[in-house]
Copies of this chain bind each other. A is one copy, B any other.
Amino acid sequence: MKYCSQCAHPVSLRIPPGDALPRYVCDHCQTIHYQNPKIVAGCIPEWEDRILLCRRAIEPRYGLWTVPAGFMENGETVADAAARETLEEARAQVRDCSLYALFNLPHISQVYVLFRARLPRPEFGPGTESLEVDLFTEARIPWDRLAFPVIRETLRRYFADRRNGTFPVHTGDIAPPPGWRGNPA
């Protein structure tokens, strides 16, 4: 951020009076521009003994597999967002979203909120952000071609739960990749 979105004057990164963290503050109109984490909403669509995965047609991780998920929009519930992403990425309508996992990725200021969801019929197809979409039994999950560590962790716990027949809500923190040099903003 370089300029104030309210008055177009330059902003400075400094700690406002009474605050504890540096913020982008407008030197002209004094507006404080807060930046906050984003929610990535997604789901595990279930059909019989299989789950739906999408192969990414976009960066990052082009060509790798993931569950339908994406940034939550203003005006939605988290479950709305998960269902919308599934419709957009996999052209599939899910029902009965049930909270399954909340994972923190503090190094990139994201919170993943993932649901289990019911796919009433095995009807799906690639949306514009997917190369292909398919149903997978546990034995056929492409573990070495999953797009993100948070997806691997979610699916690992999911199949363990399925063997146990119980689905508690999971929480956890996902560490940055080795050698990570980014910043969380």
- A5-B2, A36-B39, A184-B74 given as contacts; is B99 within 8 A of A102 (CB)? yes
Selected contact of A185 from candidates B74, B99, B106, CB within 8 Å: B74
Is B99's CB under 8 angstroms from A77's CB?
Answer: no
Q: Mark A7-25, 1 if CB is under 8 A from B, else 0.
A: 1100100000010010000
Chain A interface extent, by class: 35 or more
In the assembly, how many copies of this chain are there? 2
Residues of B with C-beta under 8 A to A4: 3, 5
Residues on the B chain within 8 Å of A99, using CB: 102, 169, 171
Verify B39–A74 contact, CB threshold 8 A: no
24 contacts between A and B (CB under 8 A): A1-B5, A2-B5, A3-B3, A3-B5, A3-B6, A3-B8, A5-B11, A5-B33, A18-B128, A21-B73, A36-B39, A36-B74, A37-B73, A37-B74, A75-B106, A75-B109, A75-B183, A75-B184, A76-B104, A76-B106, A78-B102, A79-B104, A102-B102, A111-B113
